[in-house]
Structures are given as structure tokens and as C-alpha cells.
A = this chain, B = another copy of it.
Amino acid sequence: MQTELSKKLGVEHAIFGFTPFPAVAAAISRAGGFGVLGAVRYTAPDDLKRDLDWVHEHTDDKPYGLDVVMPAKKVEAQGGQALSEADVEAMIPEAHREFVRATLAKHGVPELAEGEASGWRITGWMEQVARSQLDVAFDYPIKLLANALGSPPADVIERAHAHDVLVAALAGSARHARKHADAGIDIVVAQGYEAGGHTGEIATMVLTPDAVDAVAPLPVLAAGGIGSGEQIAAALALGAQGVWTGSIWLTTTEAEMHSRKLTEKLLAAESSDTVRSRALTGKPARQLRTEWTDAWDDPTGPGPLPMPLQGLLVAEAVSRIQKHEVEALLGTPVGQIVGRMNSERSVRVVFDELTRGFERAIDRVNRIAGR
């Protein structure tokens, strides 16, 4: 499965796999795809360094990349200085804090133990943290730097190019895609409505060719709704130079999910069990629908705050829900493809099924076309 972009990056198959887990990223690259490690959960540069060391040692010299979450615009105080986490905390209304407490109490969610840190942090979303991640990342031979929140700042793009690193940015519309292209990035990831995480309203079937036309000759990767070889064939027919997958790796045996119950929820979920909600970060993100998302999406409640306030507001609550595995509230960003994630298999087995399914789909369309 070779496109201009996969040749440029030196991968066997034009399948990009985004994951927060080093073992999954390395296994995707070893299998012949392009593993992309998500950096958002690393608040300490040393932790990222440790995991990139591990990935580097376990990819058999195959290429890999890094995904950061760097806001296109800085969160600034009125004077123009960057805001600290404490400044942002101070903007959260007390009524919203009370709603968090009441919702947790309603479901009997225990406190964290004394001194136990909140595992889920929003800090990786703040520009200074993302920049410290980059200081680490450019010491490794990464081939791709992706940004999940718009184009990275111009100096970051320059720095990446100086290291021969291609820059990718996620886009939810043709207009976003053009903006990224104008900013000087190299690859657009067209993130369809059905995708997990932050996403817009235009579905992959429509968005992919829209983005391809908007930024040609820049390459577009299709994201959203892709978890089978048939879906890969569809994305490539739409003009993509590859696919950007994420959700399907969450239930692989190499994935280190923080909760067994959450893995079981993912395995049991159907396509209709996700919701595009602002509950987690303040921006619409597709995730498992839970009583937590229902509470935030309830029109009689206070509703979510804008980013980055909502993320800070719910960080500790999400950690408590996860640590105590409170089933009704336990969720995670995931796409509509969750309906096909019905068994736990190794990355290699999932990957080989993708390439076999792709070949089957090509056979099928050739038969229909009379070739």
C-alpha cells in the first residue's frame, strides 16, 4: 500500500497509527505502518525521554513520529503575558465546581488517596509544556510531528523542517485545511465527524475529497471511521495518501489502558455508543457516551466551560472516575469505529487484517468495475 507520502517516509503501508502507548507505537512501525506517539499525557520531559528511548529501541529502525497538542493561539492574559495554570483555575465559576462535586457524589465516586496525584492532566495542552516536549523530541530521529490543535507556531514548523521532520496538522473542514497549508505544514490530517477526539461536523466521506482539493498537491491523510482494510480502500479512493487511525489500537494487547473495565466497555460498545461532547476539554470531542457526558450535555445543567477551563475543571474528577473504575461515568475519546473493536488482539494481528482487508476490497471493486 504505497503512496507518494508513504514512499517519502519510507514505510511499507500508508497506515498511520496514533496512540498514547509506546508499545503500540513501536509495534505499528514494526508491522510496516507509521507509529505516532501521543505526547499530551507527558507533563515531565524526562518521562517522554524515557518512552521515546524505548520506542526508538523497539522499532527495528523503522520510522515513527510524535503527536503534540499545541494550541494555535496562546491563552493570554489581558496584558499579553502567557497565562499560568493558576490563572486559568481562577476563571472557573464556583457553580461549575459544585456541579462536578454533585455529579461525583451522586455516583459515590471516592476521593483520591492522600498525596495521590491526578493522573489525567490538561497541562500537556499548554504551549509551554508542548514546547518542552519538542526540546526532547528533536533529539530523536522522528520523521513526523503532528499537531492536534491547528497549525503549530511558525518557529516550530521551521525547527521541524530544519530537523527534516514533516509537520502534520488536523483539520475538520476545507477552510481549516487551507489555513494549515498557508502556514507551511506538509500534511493535512482530515479529521471526519465520526473520528474519536476533537472533531468537526463534516463526515470523512465528504471531508476527505474536500481537503484533497483544498490543499493539492499537499498530501491528505483521512481520519475518522477507519478500522478495516475496506475503510482504508475507501479513504484512498477518496484521494487520501494514507489513513490516520487511532481508536482501533486502544483494544490491542499492547495497549496499557488504565482500567480493565474501560477496555471491556470499549469491546462491548456499538457504533451508536459514542457522542460528540464538550464534557472533556470544552471543545467538541467524540468519546464514549456515559452518564458523565450526559450530565454535561444536559440542557438543565450548567454545561461545559470553554477550553482550556473545562479540562482543568474536570481533571481531578476524571482521575477519580478512572482510578476507582466507576462504570457509569468511565469513558474515553474514541470514534464510531468502536463498534468494530470487539476482541483483544496484538497490533500485528490487527495490522495484518487491515492489509488483507484492503486487498479484498481492491478485488471487490475491480470485479464490480469489470477489471
Spell out A's residues near B (CB within 8 Å).
Answer: 1-3, 14, 173-175, 192-194, 200-207, 209-210, 224-226, 228, 230-231, 233-239, 270-272, 299, 335-337, 339-340, 358-359, 361-362, 364-366, 368-371
Choose one: B203, B364, B368; the contact of A194 (CB below 8 Å). B203
A234 to chain B, nearest CB (A): 4
**By the criterion CB–CB under 8 Å, are B365 and A202 in contact?**
no
Least CB distance from A8 to B in Å reads 14
> In the bound complex, how far is the Cα of B234 from the Cα of A207, in angstroms?
13
Complexed CA–CA distance, A261 and B205 (Å): 28
Report chain B residues within 8 Å CB of A201.
Answer: 272
Q: Which of A228, A230, A358, A366 has the most CB of B within 10 A?
A: A230
Report yes or no: B209 in contact with A2, Cβ–Cβ below 8 A.
no
Report how far A359 CA is from B299 CA in the complex, Å: 48
A339 to B207, CA, bound (A): 10
Give the distance to chain B from A177, nearest Cβ to Cβ, in Å.
12
Question: Which chain B residue lies CB-closest to A209?
Answer: B230
The reply to whether B205 and A204 form a contact with Cβ atoms under 8 Å apart is yes
**Contact A365-B205, Cβ < 8 Å, known A174-B270, A210-B271, A271-B173:** no
Cβ A271 vs Cβ B2 within 8 A: no
Contact of A225 among B2, B206, B336, B340 (CB under 8 A): B206
Task: Please tell me if the beta carbons of A206 and B271 are within 8 angstroms of each other in the complex.
Answer: yes
Most buried by B among A3, A173, A336, A365: A365
Q: Is A237's CB under 8 angstroms from B336's CB?
A: no
Which residue of B228, B236, B238, B361 contacts A231 across the interface (Cβ within 8 Å)?
B238
> Nearest 3 pairs between A and B by C-beta?
A205-B225, A234-B234, A194-B203
Query: Which B residues are CB-close (under 8 A) to A361?
Result: 237-238
- Would you give 8 A-B contacts (Cβ < 8 Å), ordered by A? A1-B369, A206-B225, A210-B271, A234-B234, A234-B235, A234-B237, A237-B237, A362-B365
A275 to chain B, nearest CB (A): 9
Copies in the complex: 2
Residues of B within 8 Å of A202, CB to CB, are: 194, 271-272, 336
Of residues A193, A335, A358, which shows the largest number of chain B Cβ atoms within 10 Å of its Cβ? Answer: A193
Residues of B within 8 A of A231 (CB): 205, 209, 238
Which of B3, B206, B339 is the one whose CB lies under 8 Å from A336? Answer: B206
Cβ–Cβ < 8 Å partners of A194 in chain B: 193, 202-203, 205-206
Q: A271-B174, A362-B366 are in contact. Are A226 and B207 (CB under 8 A)?
A: no
Instruction: Give the docked Cα–Cα distance between A233 and B361 (Å).
Output: 10
- The complex places the Cα of A270 from the Cα of B213 at a distance, in Å, of 13
**Which residues of B lie under 8 Å from residue A368 when comparing CB positions?**
1-3, 14, 236
Query: Contacts of A271 on B, CB cut-off 8 Å?
Result: 173-174, 202, 206-207, 210
**Residue of B with least CB distance to A233:** B237
